[in-house]
Amino acid sequence: MLTDDVDARLAAQYRAARERMTALVEEGGDAGRAPVPACPAWTAADLVAHVTGLAADLGAGRRPGPDLQVWVDQLVEDRRDRSVADVAAEWTETAPSFEAMVEDKPYRWWGLVYDLLVHEHDLRGALERPGERDGEAVDVALALGLRLVQGDLDKHGLPAFRLVTDDGVHVVGEGEVGLTLEASRFEALRLLGSRRTMDQLRAAAFTGDLDRYLPGLVHMALPAADLGEREP
């Protein structure tokens, strides 16, 4: 269920996702070379470098400069010549400090937990290892995704949005609902997380004026091609 106690679960969900992702890349020697369809500029090793670098720098008290993207890109570049197993080992060593920060101030770090939970499925897509689509991690990630949607609805002056999933009805935003989506929890997570093409968005079970709501639902560039994720 998507519940109001999501913040209390963030540190544990980050840790569990980290352990699952680490296990995935440690299973095969060539795992790091796999391209990531959801992040076409990255390999699986780059994705692991991204999440490792964030945890390592923030956990050590290092903060980005004025250009956030330069910092994020450099975290990946700094680890490019290392094996994915070595980078994953760094993540295991350094992440507990960041996880303690999440435990202490979840309202500050929830966006990075959401980033990680979304990236777990990006990594699974790269390695052709789907899974974890119907458990607590998806519930937490979807709750955070709806939090992001609510912020963008407010920013763009859009009225409320309704999501209908297999576990109930969830409404975010203010005023009368102007758009409804019916989807499984996993598909809703990927649709609202900018992991579906525009054609897939238009084919989804939206009721209402989707075009009007796109600024509240699309948070980054959409994939040019179908990621190939299918419901089990």
Residues 127-169 have pLDDT tens digits of 999 999 999 999 999 999 999 999 999 999 999 999 999 999 9
- Sorted by sequence, the CB contacts under 8 Å of residue 232 that are 6+ apart come out as 130, 133
Amino acid at 134: D
Ranking 57-66, 108-117, 210-219 by mean pLDDT, the lowest is 57-66
Looking at the domain that runs over 138-217, which CATH code has it been given?
3.30.1050
- Evaluate whether 18 touches 116 at the Cβ level (below 8 Å): yes
Q: Over 80: is that where the pLDDT of 231 sits? A: no
pLDDT tens for 27-41 read 766 889 999 999 999
- Return residue ranges of the chain for CATH 3.30.1050: 138-217
